[in-house]
Structure 1
Amino acid sequence: MDVGLLLLIALCSLAYWLYSKNKDYNVLCFFTKRVKTVSGAPVETIAPIAPGRTIFGNAFDVYGFDHAAIFQHQRKRAKEMRTSYLEYGMGAAVYNILDADNMEAVLNDQNLITKSIVYNFLKPALRTGLLTSTDKKWHSRRKMITPTFHFNILSQFEEIFKAESIKFVQQFAKDTEIDISLSELIPRFTLNSICETAMGIKLDDMAEQGDRYRDNFSMIEKCFIRRVSNPLLWFDKIYNMFVASEFESAFRGVHEFSSEIIAKRRTLLEHEIKTRMDQQTPDEDIYINKKQRFAMLDTLIFAEQDGLIDHRGICEEVDTLMFEGFDTTSIGLIFGLMNASLNPEAQRKCYEELSEHIADDLSNVDVNQLSKLKYMDCFVKETMRLFPSVPIMARQTVRETQLSNGLILPPYTQIVMHVFDVHRNPKHWSHPDEFQPERFLPENYQDRHTYAYVPFSAGQRNCIGQKYAMLEMKTLLVVLLKQFEVLPLVDPKEFVFHTGITLRTKNNVKVKLVRRQQN
């Protein structure tokens, strides 16, 4: 038979095979299984499909983009699509959520607790702690750590937050006014706080190591974006071959810092237990004296003694909780103080409330007093609405999953929840881009969709440290605003936002502190 004829038959056969497969697969997206509907209607009747930049669907839509370009791409696409939408990427469909109804459906689904594939990019740094683990391991660790964030323990942590806040403000004790960079100072404050509260270790003699730890996480975030923006680097073999060596020192530095923290705490804990035994402390109080602080790390060390976790497991959870404890909270405080500077009326209301409930002697501030600051609570919540520390959350299906809106998601569909856009969705918020703390007064949020505001996620994988974060943020705001007025130094229109692991600005956030005249 003629070679040309054979070739023609082969090409026709291939074309027919591709056509038949395209009923269920987006062939040019590396055989991505398509999303269907329960009714059999076109999927576009429920969720529009975003156009891709290349013939490979959306796989290369952010190829080569930096942090800022990715952020702008996500915001532009949200405005164009105006509703939750679909993309087809590298071997998987991607369902992008922009509204509270879909957010609720996903976060409340007991079968949707597996994190998206992009969380694997964090495992070289965070390993498989609470943030990245799933199934039995996640359930076991969550159950183990949850008691360490009980209200009674948080009340003890408040003493540390207060001491660290006073120490932070004392940096400016001799100044009547001073310009400061929040982007540089606040992360140091939050890292000190998480180490002393959750880890039981003061960083007073480890300042340089703490600075290097934060620098290393900046490098890790660059690595994360590098992989997110290049689908070829989603494959570990390609990443390890061409890129991994650039960031190896950052991963190693993070692990060395957490290992040093663990070693120090083990030594201190052994000394504390020996001291209590020498003092003939009752057996039931040797491991936890309710009158003393009980660090989260202590819980893990005692669990190790009971065979519930090993040393590697302790390292996993320490890496995770240190990162989440210092980074996300620092972002909330940076944007909170920025909002105070840009919204003088809101700042005035916070100060008047402080003057009413908080005495000038800040050493007596406690959890009960902070709970009376209702307007400040609204202020912090509105800050997290406009500037959620984690602007995106993502899960993936492990089996075919039917959503309440009629979509049928195939296995390994990536579900991307755009918290930033849900928090600014005009369907849920009037004047969504304006800073209005009053939205969170009880009389104003009763009819609002519960899942229109999810800065700490929701459902069974909600943030374990949300009360911890709120307490820390409010404490620093109280101590700082009690003594200083915060004035703006930068026009917010000049801010360039970018998405990495968390929400940031490309430029440093700076403010002016002006000492208040004491009556």
Structure 2
Amino acid sequence: MALIFPVIIAISVLFLFELFKKFRKIQKVNYYGSKIPGPPANYVMGNMSMLQNESSHGLIKMFMEEAKRERERGSTVMRFMLPGKILAFPLTGKTVSKILESTTEIDKGEDYDFFKPWLGGGLLLSIGERWKAHRKMITPTFHFAKLEGYFDVFNQEAKIFVECLEKFSESGETVNLHPYINRCTLDIICETAMGTKVNAQFNHKHPYLEAVEGYTSMMLEYAYSPLMWNPFLFWLLGHKKRQDFLLYTLKKFTGDIIAERKAAIESGEVEKSNSKRNMNFLDLILSQKETNVLSEEDLRSEVDTFMFGGHDTTTTSASWTCWNLAHNPDVQEKVYEELVEVCGDDPNGDITYEQANKLQYLDRVLRESKRLIAPVPSVERQLQNDMEIDGYTIPAGSNVSIAPMVLHSNHLVFKNPEVFDPDRFLPEECSKRHPYDFVPFSAGIKNCIGQKFSILNEKVIISHLVRNYRIEPKLKFNETLPCFEAVAKPSKGIPVKLTKRV
């Protein structure tokens, strides 16, 4: 009994100490946050009520509207405040360059901790020497000579995609293109990067795709729900069980692919190459594993990172491109005319690497679609040290958002930013802007390593679709909206009517 009181006192002291630390943190956040432009904030909860009361797609609209309001006041940076934390948004290409060009502030931060059980120490989340080593190892996978070799798969799977849609053109029934594109890009990434066919286009309830969607949605829920930050409450409310189930599905899928490829190599079914340029992504990192560069966990993390990054962003980008084409029939016809001119009038003919690079108008269409709706709305860096951006001090521990959704809607750079206009990306127009006013694949040393792969993949998919069908929307443009998640998936899909070209 005599020990009870000392224990109670010790627990009370620890509790008060933690409370004091949190209070000091809130004091610091309010001191710096009050000096940075942004919406009025509660002393303790900051702007949490604004964020929690918005839907996923409503968050993007809110961030863009606040950014416009601050730009009209002459601000080049804005902030939102969360309990004990600042979220800062550079509003121009010039101000975002401070974080993009930093060689030291590259930590994704604690908001990405939710991804760590899935993507671990893969290229997306790693930093420092580990990141440099992994980036160097993976770079040969995206050499232009290898990209050219992927075109057989790009064309083969794009044709299957077109065939899967034929029944809708015959019946006139509305089709949501998003899941069809999603399955197509998964088949492409598995075969080009992993050397494995999974035939997702014939499996409309593929568990991996459902798990990716579930996990990325859960990440956003976690980021803006303080109750989920407490490990005990996270478990008690059933979130841990849901997370574990999704992780099991995700890891099993990639684990099975790795095991199958290993077995194929060991049995001699797949000929082993000593040239990095001749290896697919998985074979390349398996060869690194043999020289003890990668642990088993490293191997799985890199495969999971590549699987997620290689198909989900391309799916989102291609989906919004289709939506923009559907709502801009004149642009769609120009794309078709260019395809006929460059690739011929056979709707079933393959698109070659050389032809894809000649599709300059389609290239501008893809860029403008990524400007209007950024496939990745935002990525964050957590500052390890105080950083000054255009005269404002962002304290260490804050998150700085590299937000294409905000940068691309800058009405001071892109006149009438809500209008779809591919000619914004004519060379003479691009030269008038700061290089970082348009950053769909981020920029600087941590730019997207697979951006060329994604662009070519998307070009082939869109080319086959437009050569075979006219696309008409079945909802108004803003009746399906981008969601504020890891990728900006459409809230109501991409519902269209397809008419066979004759």
Which TM-score band applies after superposition, normalised by the shorter structure?
0.7 to 0.9
2:261 alignment counterpart: 265
Shift of 1:450: 0.8
Q: 271, 280, 286: which is aligned to 1:301?
A: 286
Aligned partner letter, 2:68? K
Give the match's secondary structure for 1:87: strand
Is 1:384 paired with 2:370? yes
CA separation in 1, counterparts of 2:356 and 2:294?
A: 36
**Which one-letter code corresponds to 1:419 in the other structure?**
P
Which is greater in Rg?
Answer: 1
Shift in Å, 1:90: 3.0
Match of 1:401 in 2: 387
1:100 equivalent among 88, 93, 100: 93
1:63 aligns with 2:52: yes
Counterpart Cα distance in 2 of 1:494 and 1:326: 25
Residue equivalent to 2:37:
48
Matched, 1:371 2:357: yes
Structure 1 residue 75 and structure 2 residue 51: aligned?
no
**Match of 1:398, as an amino acid?**
Q
Q: Residue 70 of structure 1 aligns to which amino acid in structure 2?
A: L
* Structure 1 residue matching 2:95: 3-state secondary structure: helix
Listed as ranges, the matches of 1:249-398 within 5 Å are 249-272=245-268, 276=271, 286-288=273-275, 294-361=279-346, 362-398=348-384
Is the contact made by 2:44 and 2:83 (CA closer than 8 Å) also made in structure 1?
A: no
Aligned-pair CA distance for 1:340: 1.0
Q: Which one is further off, 238-247 or 423-432?
A: 238-247
Whole-Å separation in 1 of the counterparts to 2:457 and 2:396: 40
- 1:138 lines up with 2:131 in the alignment: yes
3-state DSSP of counterpart to 1:335: helix
Distance 2:236 2:445 in 1: 37
Label 1:172 to 1:489 Cα distance change in 2 as closer, same or farther (>3 A).
same
More moved, 383-392 vs 68-77 = 68-77
Q: CA deviation at 1:157?
A: 0.8
Shift of 1:204: 2.6
TM-score normalised over the length of structure 1: 0.85
SS for the counterpart of 2:79 is strand
Give the total of aligned pairs. Answer: 475
Amino acid corresponding to residue 509 of structure 1 in structure 2: I
The within-5 A match list for 1:161-172 is 161-172=154-165
Aligned match of 1:190: 185
Per the TM alignment, residue 463 of structure 1 is displaced from its structure 2 partner at its CA by 0.4
User: Per-residue CA shift, 1:110-129, capped at 9, x if unaligned?
Assistant: 11211132111212222221
Q: Please tell me whether residue 500 in structure 1 is matched to residue 496 in structure 2.
A: no
Partner of residue 14, structure 2? none
| Counterpart Cα distance in 2 of 1:100 and 1:452 | 4
Deviation per residue, 1:2-38 (Å, 9 max, x gap): xxxxxxxxxxxxxxxxxxx9xxx995863445676xx
| Equivalent-residue separation in structure 1 for 2:30 and 2:67 (angstroms) | 21
**Aligned partners of 2:153 and 2:188 also within 8 Å:** yes
Q: 1:238/1:81 Cα in 2 relative to 1: closer, same or farther (>3 Å)?
A: farther
1:49, distance to aligned residue in structure 2 (A): 3.8
Q: In structure 1, the residue corresponding to 2:46 is in which secondary structure?
A: coil
Among all aligned residue pairs of Structure 1 and Structure 2, give the percentage whose two residues are the same amino acid: 28
Encode CA deviations 1:425-457: one digit per residue, 9 max, x unaligned. Answer: 012111111000011111222111111100000
The residue that corresponds to 1:16 in the other structure is none
Q: Quick one: structure 1 residues 245 and 448, their matched pair in 2 at CA, closer, same or farther if it must change by over 3 Å?
A: same
Aligned 8 A contact 1:385 1:423 in 2: yes
Residue 68 of structure 2 contacts residue 411 of structure 2 at CA under 8 Å; is this kept in 1? no
Partner secondary structure for residue 365 of structure 1: coil
- Please give the TM-score of this superposition, normalised by the length of structure 2: 0.88
Distance 1:275 1:33 in 2: 57
The answer to whether the aligner puts 1:91 opposite 2:84 as a matched pair is: yes
| Residues 26 and 32 in structure 1, CA contact (< 8 A), matched pair in contact too | no
Deviation of the 1:364 alpha carbon: 4.3
1:3 match? none
Amino acid aligned to 2:116: K
Q: Deviations over 1:139-180 (max 9, x none)?
A: 111111111111110110111101111111122456546432
Distance 1:173 1:191 in 2: 20
Aligned match of 2:229 in 198, 219, 234?
A: 234
The alignment's C-alpha RMSD in Å is: 2.5
2:495 is aligned to 510
Evaluate the alpha carbon distance shift between residue 394 and residue 302 of structure 1 in structure 2; reply closer, same or farther with a 3 A threshold: same
Helix, strand or coil: the match of 1:30?
helix
Structure 1 CA distance for aligned equivalents of residues 317 and 133 of structure 2: 29
Deviates more, 1:241-250 or 1:410-419: 241-250
Contact 1:50 1:87 (C-alpha < 8 Å) held by counterparts? yes
Determine the structure 2 residue equivalent to 1:216: 211
C-alpha distance in 2 between matches for 1:233 and 1:392: 21
Secondary structure in structure 2 of the residue aligned to 1:487: strand
Shift of 1:70: 2.8
Tell me the distance in 2 between the aligned counterparts of 1:228 and 1:71: 15
Residues 60-102 of structure 1 deviation map (CA, whole Å, 9 limit, x = unaligned)? 5423654234334323432333342123323333212222111
Letter in 1 for 2:308: F
When structure 1 is superposed on structure 2, of 501-510 and 343-352 the one drifting more is: 501-510
Post-superposition offset of 1:133: 1.6
Contact 1:384 1:455 in 2 (8 A): yes
Distance 1:289 1:463 in 2: 20
Deviations 1:274-326 (A, max 9, x none): 775xxxxxxxx833386xx5211111100000111011111001111111111
Structure 1 unaligned blocks of 5 or more: 1-20, 37-41, 277-284
Query: For the residues of structure 2 that align with 1:237 and 1:457, how far apart are their CA atoms?
Result: 36
Gaps of 5+ in 2: 1-19
- What is aligned with 2:108? 115
Task: Please give the alpha-carbon distance, in whole angstroms, between the structure 1 residues aligned to 2:267 and 2:451.
Answer: 31
The 3-state SS of whatever aligns with 1:411 is coil
Contact 1:96–1:417 at 8 Å: present in 2 too? Answer: yes
What does residue range 149-168 of structure 1 map to in structure 2 within 5 Å? 149-168=142-161
Q: Structure 2 CA distance, aligned partners of 1:286 and 1:333? A: 33
CA apart distance, 1:477: 1.2
**Is the 2:183–2:201 Cα contact (8 Å) retained in structure 1?**
no
